[in-house]
């Protein structure tokens, strides 16, 4: 979908122009009792993301311990502190919206961190192969977070919640920063690998 038509669709949903297509159960081709407003959808995403960030606060230390290179350990440890800030910003958003702070399990993030654990289990301590595997896993996490925040920022703007969008933007920008650092690290390690 082109950027402008996607933007138009979000604004149509938020303005109620195509609300009937998603809220009138009788007319829906779906058999679920789903009846979410854009605000409900946003709160659901917020709970999901809150769970994901808190989960990462527990998962990143395992990656720090498993990493071999000092600069990788350092980058991951730095991002752990940044991730704690992300949790705090999301808590602030719950407050701003007058919502209870609730975490809803994010299956996607659980899967991503689980596959990172498998990489650690299947590689040898203090090897570049393990470090490359850890970076690849961390990049998947960062890119998932970037995409999540991009969508949430768009919806927050549509809901007219500029203060919320601002906080999400800060998290988003820090995920981009982490992704850039990890990408550079991955390039420099993989360049040193002999061709097989």
157 near Fe ion (CB under 5 A) = no
172 sits near Fe ion (criterion: CB under 5 A): no
Radius of gyration over every alpha carbon of the chain, rounded to an integer in angstroms? 19
Using an 8 Å Cβ cutoff, are 76 and 64 in contact?
yes
Q: Which of 86, 157, 161, 172 binds Fe ion (CB under 5 A)?
A: 86
* Joined tokens for residue 107: 């299956």
* Least spacing, CB of residue 86 vs Fe ion, in Å: 4
- By CB under 5 A, residue 48 contacts Fe ion: no
Least distance CB 155 / Fe ion (angstroms):
18
Please name the residues in contact with 162: beta carbons below 8 A apart, sequence gap of 6 or more: 156
The three-class DSSP label of residue 127 is coil
State which of residues 45, 76, 175, 186 lies at the interface with Fe ion (CB under 5 A).
175
**Nearest to Fe ion of 13, 178 (CB atom):** 178
Question: What 3-state class would DSSP assign to 90?
Answer: helix
**Which residues here bind Fe ion, judged by CB under 5 A?**
83, 86, 145, 175
């Amino acid at each position: 979908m082109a950027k402008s038509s996607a933007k138009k669709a979000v604004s149509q949903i938020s303005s109620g122009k195509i609300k009937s297509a998603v809220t009138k159960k009788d007319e829906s081709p779906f058999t679920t009792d789903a009846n979410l407003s854009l605000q409900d959808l946003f709160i659901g995403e917020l709970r999901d993301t809150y769970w994901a960030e808190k989960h990462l606060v527990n998962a990143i230390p395992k990656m720090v311990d498993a990493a071999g290179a000092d600069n990788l350990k350092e980058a991951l440890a730095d991002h752990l502190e940044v991730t704690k800030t992300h949790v705090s910003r999301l808590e602030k958003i719950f407050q701003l919206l007058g919502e209870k702070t609730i975490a809803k399990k994010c299956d996607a993030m659980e899967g991503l961190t689980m596959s990172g654990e498998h990489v650690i289990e299947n590689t040898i301590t203090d090897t570049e192969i393990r470090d490359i595997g850890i970076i690849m896993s961390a990049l998947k996490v960062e890119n998932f977070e970037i995409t999540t925040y991009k969508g949430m920022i768009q919806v927050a703007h549509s809901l007219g919640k500029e203060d919320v969008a601002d906080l999400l933007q800060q998290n988003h920008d820090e995920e981009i920063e982490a992704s850039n650092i990890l990408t550079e690290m991955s390039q420099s390690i993989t360049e040193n690998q002999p061709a097989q």
